[in-house]
């Protein structure tokens, strides 16, 4: 439980932790489908406008963006939530523009297409 107090430090009530986590989840957009991409970049090269442009060139939108700076390396770590579940094209775009993609979560059409093509080849060879 989290206490709620006024300016005189009088207890007004409490917020149950489950309710707090539920509202935080809604605030962070966890109830909406989409992929997650985590990038790392130097402070000097960080440009939200460019990152947004690269995402939008793949017909996607950034629905959530969180950043923090790693004290050990000085790199800015950018966590993007994208409104598309399939993120492989966006990841490829970031890599093409020399962004370091730490990791990503979402579906990959490329792997599925490769598997489908492989299965079609095997089916053809069996005929």
Digit-coded pLDDT (tens) for 87-119: 888 999 999 998 999 989 887 655 556 667 778
Is residue 126 helix, strand or coil? helix
Q: Token pair for residue 52?
A: 């947004």
Which residue in 19, 45, 35 sits closest to 87, CA to CA?
35
- The mean pLDDT of 28-43, rounded to a whole number, is 86
Q: Is the pLDDT of residue 127 over 70?
A: no
Residue from 78, 76, 9 nearest 38 by CA: 78
Who has greater pLDDT, 109 or 36?
36
Mean pLDDT, rounded, of the chain: 87
Please report the domains of the chain, with CATH numbers, ordered by start residue. Answer: 1-31 (no CATH), 33-126 (3.30.70.260)
pTM: 0.69
Q: At what angle do helices 88-96 and 48-56 cross, to 10 degrees?
A: 130
Report which secondary-structure segment, H or E, holds 35.
strand 35-42
Look up tokens 């605030």; give the residue: 27
115's CB contacts (< 8 A; 6+ apart) are none
Instruction: Using the Cα atoms of residue 63, residue 87, residue 57 and residue 94 in order, give the sign of their dihedral.
Output: positive
């Amino acid at each position: 439980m989290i206490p709620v107090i006024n300016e005189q430090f009088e207890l007004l009530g409490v917020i149950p932790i489950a309710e707090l986590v539920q509202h935080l989840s809604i605030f962070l957009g966890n109830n909406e489908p989409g992929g997650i991409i985590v990038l790392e970049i130097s402070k000097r090269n960080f440009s939200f406008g460019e990152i947004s442009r690269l995402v939008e060139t793949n017909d996607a939108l950034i629905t959530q963006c969180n950043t923090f700076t790693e004290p050990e390396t000085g790199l800015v770590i950018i966590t993007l939530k994208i409104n598309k579940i399939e993120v492989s094209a966006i990841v490829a775009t970031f890599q093409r523009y020399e962004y370091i993609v730490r990791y990503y979560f979402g579906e990959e059409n490329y792997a599925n297409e490769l598997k489908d093509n492989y299965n079609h080849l095997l089916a053809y060879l069996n005929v």
